[in-house]
A and B are shown apart, each in its own frame.
Chain A
Amino acid sequence: MPITIALAGNPNSGKTTVFNALTGSRQHVGNWPGVTVDKKEGQYCKDKNLTILDLPGTYSLSPYSAEELITRNYIVEERPACIIDVVDGTSLERNLYLALQIMETGTPTVLAVNMMDEVAAKGDVIDFARLEAELGVAVVPMEARNNKGLDQLMEAVNRTIGQNRRPRQLEIYSLAGKVDEDTLADRRYSYIQALVDTCVQSKKNQAVHGESLSDKLDKVLTHRFFALPVFALVMYALFAMTFSENFLFISGLPSPGIALATLVETLWGGLTRVVSTFLENAGAADWAYSLVVDGVLEGIGAIFGFLPLILVLYLLMSFLEDSGYMARVAFVMDRIFRRFGLSGRSFIPLLMGFGCSVPAIMATRTLDSEKDRRITTLLCGFMPCGAKLPIFIMFVSVFFAEGNKTLVLFFLYALSLSVSILVSLIINHIAYRGQVSNFLMELPHYRLPTLRSVWIHGYEKVKGFVQKAGTVILAATILIWLLSNFNMHSFTGENRLERGTLLAEMDDSFLASVGKAAAPVFKPAGFGAWKPTVGIATGWVAKEMVVVTLAQLYSEDVGEEYLEQYFASMDAAALKDLGFSDGIYSPAEAFDIYTEAVLMEGGDEHALLSIHADISTKQAALAYMAFNLLCMPCFAAVGAMKRELKSWRRTASAVGIQMATAYLVAVLINLVGSLF
């Protein structure tokens, strides 16, 4: 019969480190119903009958935040066999406040006094026997980050469970409900203060001891003048290490994130080639071939392709979090972001959104409040991520050839930011009106995180993405494949009779029919034709697909003749540069190279001439770019949103807001633009 032991404690008390040390890799991350808070469970690595549950980090059991409600309800209603309350030995006074509330519930409790190395460094001596006698619970000193004290902790837990030892009923517990909240909090803290005074011998004279390293660091990191430059530098480093293709300003040197992503792509490309060759040789039907190569492998590839970015970003994020710098990020940026109804911490996910929304959305987990997590997750979809850039570049070169291209790009970036701010303000106003400011926050000591804990965070994040977002991405990719490769004639057999294949051309597919039906909706935005509409839909597989799809749909403009003429003026070196093998023009490679190396880079101002019939004005082109910028992000990002928001309903309403915003903005641009 498995026994559940719950881990409780303040944020920054090292609770998660204790959890990781006790459970090793046998963890399961689920979620608490109704909120965006992880529910982590694991088996104790030395006794499989003991399940350890990691409760959210809280400062008290007052029903103040989602985290506190969960912890409170769990302890009161589920009655775990034993609670391990992890307290930070360097600030016992505040940590014991939660401990007191936990012990008041009468649940068997063990106090794990963590960070004993820092306590010793501070010169404090804690009288554990006295603490144990006063509180009537086992008190165990430990250094979780160095794996010290774990066995003693679990022995104490076993003893507590075996004897069904309940905490001593202190006189102060009987006050609850009899006095007002001020008096109660004051009495609890007074009791703790007296307790700490008798149980801790501290060398309080800071003058002798001098400033700690943490204090010195903080002087620089939150300095009046240095704080912002240092912050900019840290953020730049975070972004560059994840997304930069010219790392450390060395041209062509990929950052760890990009290097890993390229490696995964290459490996996956190789595997795809092996499978496709095998299927060809085995004589697989073309629909089966297409399903495996363009549907399944493409979909799984899309999932894998994001893993390196998530891993690298999350390793860096957990380093910042564990080191204590993240709290300072909030401290420094709060003033700005509060105006928009967000917290300073939202800066990081939004910044990462400029690279890729998927790791950005995963990063919202580090935000403090439910509200901030939900709003920031939604806003990440508005960011001009790297995959949206090819759309903008192609449109700018085709529609704004003689205009100021930089100005158009700048407009889109500014649009993304202003729309985000506006949407955040509106949501705050409508859905979260009158919510209390949540900026009473501890600024923890700076600590050097352990490699192990940083690694576990990164690994958990990657695993969670594959498990929770993977199915969404794969299913959606296959759905779009199905819609763009089939029509009714596929099933009546007419395709086979007429064309010798089950599959349909894209301009005759279900997707085209859907596009034709939906196109009138976009009339007010200026691009109410079916081809641009289909482009938007394939953009949900991956945003840069918009360019590829448009090239396929306007194929009369990129016929063999056109391509041959376009590439004719180039010499062998230029052709090789673009990707033609051996620098020789070949019609077979021409289309792919044209879309990827020319269209996406904005190399051909006369590209896709017939698109001007569907998108006839500059404002319509701008509206189309804006729509692709703001509408539902790619399926991978939606999968990540689902993982973070933890419910289909919330994910659907977030996507709904994104679509509505995109539509409104596109229509507005087209209307205002046509006034000039």
Chain B
Amino acid sequence: MTLGELRPGERARVLKIGTQGMLRQRILDMGITPSVEVKLVKVAPLGDPLELTLRGYQLSLRKSDAALIEVEKM
């Protein structure tokens, strides 16, 4: 499944980042690396973007970007 399919409150482990180039580098730099554990905290009031907790901080990212990240639910 992808990060975009998680529901609020669910945790998952990142498996693969399915994009290339600048966006991939940015995703990695922000700490979404293979094997990291993330938790989906909430979805913004208008349905997008998402708020994640990982590595002790809160990150927001768009659903379209989250759909590129493969995860396994924990």
Chain A, Cβ-Cβ closest to B59:
A442
A182 to B24, CA, bound (A): 9
Q: Complex: how many Å from CA A383 to CA B60?
A: 30
Known: A92-B56, A182-B17, A439-B49. A59 touches B29 (CB 8 A): yes
B22 touches A64 (CB 8 A): yes
CB–CB A64/B29 < 8 A = yes
**Contact A222 B51, CB 8 Å, known A440-B65, A441-B60:** yes
| B27-63 interface code vs A (CB 8 A; 1 in, 0 out) | 1111101111000001011111101000111111110
A60–B29 touching, CB < 8 Å: yes
User: Contact at A181–B25, with CB atoms within 8 Å?
Assistant: yes
Given A332-B45, A334-B44, A441-B59: A59 and B30 within 8 A (CB)?
yes
Compute how far the CA of A60 lies from the CA of B64 in the bound complex, rounded to whole angstroms.
Answer: 23
Inter-chain contact A94/B34, CB cutoff 8 Å: no
* Interfacial chain A residues near B31, Cβ < 8 Å: 93-94, 97, 189
Contact with A440, one of B33, B44, B45, B59 (Cβ below 8 angstroms): B59
Q: Does B1 sit within 8 A of A, measured CB to CB? A: no
A674 within 8 A of B: no
Asked if A94 and B55 make an inter-chain contact with CB atoms under 8 angstroms apart, the answer reads yes
A228 close to B (CB within 8 Å): yes
Indicate the member of B33, B47, B59 with the most A CB atoms within 10 Å.
Answer: B33
Complex: how many Å from CA A297 to CA B45?
Answer: 50
Q: Are B25 and A335 in contact (CB under 8 A)?
A: no
Interface residues of B: mostly helix, strand, loop or mixed? mixed
Given A64-B29, A436-B23, also A335-B48 (CB < 8 A):
yes
A227 touching B59 in the complex, CB below 8 Å, given contacts A60-B29, A182-B28, A185-B28: no
B21 within 8 A of A: yes
Check A467 for interface membership: any CB of B closer than 8 A. no
- Residues of B within 8 A of A (CB-CB), count: 34
Q: Is B56 a contact of A331 with CB atoms below 8 Å?
A: no
Which residues of A are found within 8 Å of B44, using beta-carbon distances? 222, 227, 331-332, 334-335
Q: A64-B29, A185-B28 are in contact. Are A223 and B62 (CB under 8 A)?
A: no
Asked whether, in the complex, the Cβ of A189 is within 8 Å of the Cβ of B33, the reply is: yes
A216 to chain B, nearest CB (A): 13
Question: Cα distance A59–B48 when bound, in Å?
Answer: 23
- Contacts A224-B45, A335-B44, A437-B65; A64 near B56 (Cβ below 8 A): no
Residues of chain A contacted by B30 (CB below 8 angstroms): 59, 94, 440, 442
Which residue of B is nearest A330, CB measured?
B60
B56 interface neighbour in A94, A227, A330, A338, Cβ under 8 Å: A94
- Hey, which chain B residues are within 8 Å of A336, CB to CB? 46
When the two chains form their complex, are residues B33 and A186 in contact, meaning their CB atoms are under 8 A apart? Answer: yes
CA distance A327 to B51 in the complex (A): 12
B24 CB contacts on chain A under 8 angstroms: 181
Q: Contact string, A83-112, partner B, CB cutoff 8 A, digits 1/0?
A: 000000011111001000000000000000
Q: Is A517 positioned at the interface, with any CB of B under 8 Å from its CB? A: no
Contact yes or no, B57 A94, CB < 8 A: yes
Which chain A residue lies CB-closest to B32? Answer: A440
For the complex, is A427 an interface residue (Cβ under 8 Å from B)?
no
For residue A62, which residues in chain B have a CB less than 8 angstroms away from its CB?
25-26, 29
B59 to chain A, nearest CB (A): 6
Using CB atoms, name the residue of chain A closest to B57: A91
A179–chain B nearest beta-carbon distance, Å: 12
Contacts of B48 in A (CB 8 A): 334-335
Q: Would you mind naming 20 contact pairs between A and B with Cβ atoms under 8 Å apart?
A: A64-B22, A93-B31, A93-B56, A94-B30, A94-B31, A94-B56, A97-B31, A181-B25, A185-B29, A222-B42, A224-B45, A330-B60, A334-B46, A335-B44, A439-B49, A440-B59, A440-B60, A441-B60, A443-B60, A444-B58
Residues of A within 8 A of B (CB): 59-60, 62, 64, 90-94, 97, 181-182, 185-186, 189, 193, 222-225, 227-228, 327, 330-332, 334-336, 338, 436-444
**3 pairs of A and B residues whose beta carbons are closest in the complex:** A185-B28, A60-B29, A335-B46
